[in-house]
Amino acid sequence: MEKRWVINTLADENKIKELSKKLNCNPIIANLLFQRDIDSSEKAQIFFHPSLNMLHDPFLMKDMQKAVERLDSAIARDEKIMIYGDYDVDGITAVALLYIYLKDKYSVENLLYYIPNRYTEGYGVSVNGIDYAAENGVSLMIITDCGVKDVEKVKYANEKGLDIIICDHHNPGNTLPEAVAVLDPQRSDCDYPYKWLSGCGVSYKFIQAHSITHNLPMASLYKLLDLVCVSIASDIVPITGENRIMAFYGLQELNTNPNIGLKAVIDTSGVGKNMSVNDIVFKIGPRINAAGRVESGRKSVELLVAEDEEEAYRIAVELNSINDQRKILDHDITEEAINYLQETESEVGKKTTVLYNPKWHKGVVGIVASRLTEIFYRPTIVLTESNGLATGSARSVEGFDLYYAISCCAEYLENYGGHKYAAGLTMKIENIQAFKKKFESIVQETITDDMLVPQINIDAKIKLCDITPDLYAMLQKFAPFGPNNNLPVFMTENVVNFIGSKKVGKHNEHLRLVAVDDTRACNDKCGIGFGMGNMYEVINSGAYFDICYTLQENTFMGKTDIQMMLKDIHIK
């Protein structure tokens, strides 16, 4: 599918020169800073040198004082506390974080944790979880990464004699649950300065507030940032503001002295040195997620709170095996869905994909929805049967508010929640066709043609001679990379093939590019285009073309060069 290149607006030339001079940096770097709303040398210093002292006062979050007081009351009276979290990476890391923090300050016998079963209980707070807490004498339940929309479930918990503290980051409904405290920066009445924390991030602010109240050393709290970093990367929240600070220091912890459980995952997943956000997204997160997708998320919590290295390693190996099962399920269901969409005439020309198959594994429908969105590039919902209902996951395309479109179909839904680009939903099986029809109608009315074409956002046009070790070194200071602070993408126009380009890979499926532009004197640059082997004949014909790419160091036979990682090629 042809991709649409969108070039970010170049900042004012005089302002670029001024900032470049103040920072003594390449104008390309100054322009990249402006694109991130960093328009002064003071802001640049903060960006390039994040400090944990820059974290916001947790008491700026609505209900924080209430939450701390209720926790203190529970500890003082030896009440039983249960930590309840969602079955994905964000929920699992949040439960582990709260458990590790509290077990050092409280009797372990009075501390429980609970992860709902994806298949029998579903997303959010479950009746089973509440009943389990009540049956075990729990009087305080801390709910994390869910709960803000569970008004009726919280009411049920209250009737069972449970007090509730919610640590969530999802959009609330019109009515908040009647909890002792609802910590959620997305609340309309919450003035907390940073709105995009992960669920684990909100839980971190809770224990930060508790530590401040009791004058506890922050150093022990900072050691838990490895868990927060894993949640930030895996939940695809913006890596800006507080998230960037916590991810920055969390990565340092992961690379030097990780939690015993995380170290076991790192050791068994083949992650190399200098782990990045990408490594978490593609190697660490999926293994932690795998337990909740295929079996029970509780196993991943057991891993993350483990104190024995051998036990942690044993669980990590088991999660590796479960993740392999998940990959097979994911692959088979994706293939089946692709074949159906390609062979079914009624699906051609639609602006949405809504698929239901009662035999599909609930644990991987979110991954399948993501893959189908990448392939067919349209808002996608994949549903399966669970407890007599159709339940599943939705994924969007760049710029389209999926959550709004789903909310317009609420009349057909039993439950839904999520964000602009990803959501979960449940409906009666008999409502699927009506929902499918209305969802298609809403999307057709609100989506633009441009949104249905894959988009590559390009940060700047540069010449090949601009690619220098100094530029690359400065780019590394923009890390950690992620949503709203992506690895910069560059574009070079009017390049031509040079000696050395060829097809590579077992099946000649990749392209090794050696190219020059109009500054061609000794400025030939190498790049690799995965899956672009089919472009070789065209570029080898002598035609001029434009390339867009990111930059990466490549070491071969002891020599390190800066390599272009090609994202797309446009032939002139």
What is the structure's pLDDT at 320?
Answer: 92
For the chain, domain boundaries: 58-320, 345-452, 456-571
The CATH-assigned architecture of domain 345-452 is: Roll (3.10)
Mean residue pLDDT across the chain: 94
Look at the pTM and tell me if it is higher than 0.85. Answer: yes
What does CATH list as the number for 58-320?
3.90.1640.30
**507, pLDDT greater than 80:** yes
Q: What is the pLDDT of residues 7-61, one digit of tens each?
A: 999 889 999 999 999 999 999 999 999 999 999 999 999 999 999 999 999 999 9
The C-alpha atoms of residue 267 and residue 264 are separated, in whole angstroms, by: 5
What is the structure's pLDDT at 555?
Answer: 79
Q: What is the dihedral of CA 28, 33, 37, 41, to 10 degrees?
A: -120
Report the 10 Å Cβ neighbour count for 116.
26
Average pLDDT over residues 113-132: 90
Average pLDDT over residues 521-548: 88
Q: What is the pLDDT of residues 134-149, one digit of tens each?
A: 999 999 999 999 999 9
Consecutive H or E run containing 377:
none
The C-alpha atoms of residue 409 and residue 437 are separated, in whole angstroms, by: 10
The C-alpha atoms of residue 221 and residue 226 are separated, in whole angstroms, by: 10
Q: What is the pLDDT of residues 286-336, one digit of tens each?
A: 999 988 888 789 999 999 999 999 999 999 999 999 999 999 999 999 999
Contact in structure between 562 and 469 (CB atoms under 8 Å):
yes
The C-alpha atoms of residue 167 and residue 187 are separated, in whole angstroms, by: 12
Contact in structure between 569 and 529 (CB atoms under 8 Å):
yes
- What is the distance in angstroms between the CA of the first residue and the CA of the last residue of the chain? 17
What is the structure's pLDDT at 92?
Answer: 97
Minimal CA–CA distance to 302: which of 159, 112, 456?
Answer: 112
Name the more confident of 559 and 205: 205
Is it true that the peptide bond before 480 is cis, omega within 30 degrees of 0? Answer: yes
The C-alpha atoms of residue 152 and residue 171 are separated, in whole angstroms, by: 17
Average pLDDT over residues 369-379: 95
The C-alpha atoms of residue 290 and residue 298 are separated, in whole angstroms, by: 11
Minimal CA–CA distance to 164: which of 90, 78, 71, 76?
Answer: 71
- Tell me how far the alpha carbon of residue 199 is from its chain's centroid: 12
Which two tokens mark 21?
A: 């001079």
The CATH fold of domain 456-571: OB fold (Dihydrolipoamide Acetyltransferase, E2P) (2.40.50)
Minimal CA–CA distance to 221: which of 210, 231, 230?
Answer: 210
Three-state DSSP at 513 gives strand
In order of 124, 185, 302, 421, 507, the CA distances from 293 in angstroms are 15, 28, 16, 20, 33
List CB contacts of 302: < 8 A, sequence separation 6 or more: 315
Minimal CA–CA distance to 58: which of 169, 218, 202, 244?
Answer: 202
The C-alpha atoms of residue 251 and residue 276 are separated, in whole angstroms, by: 7
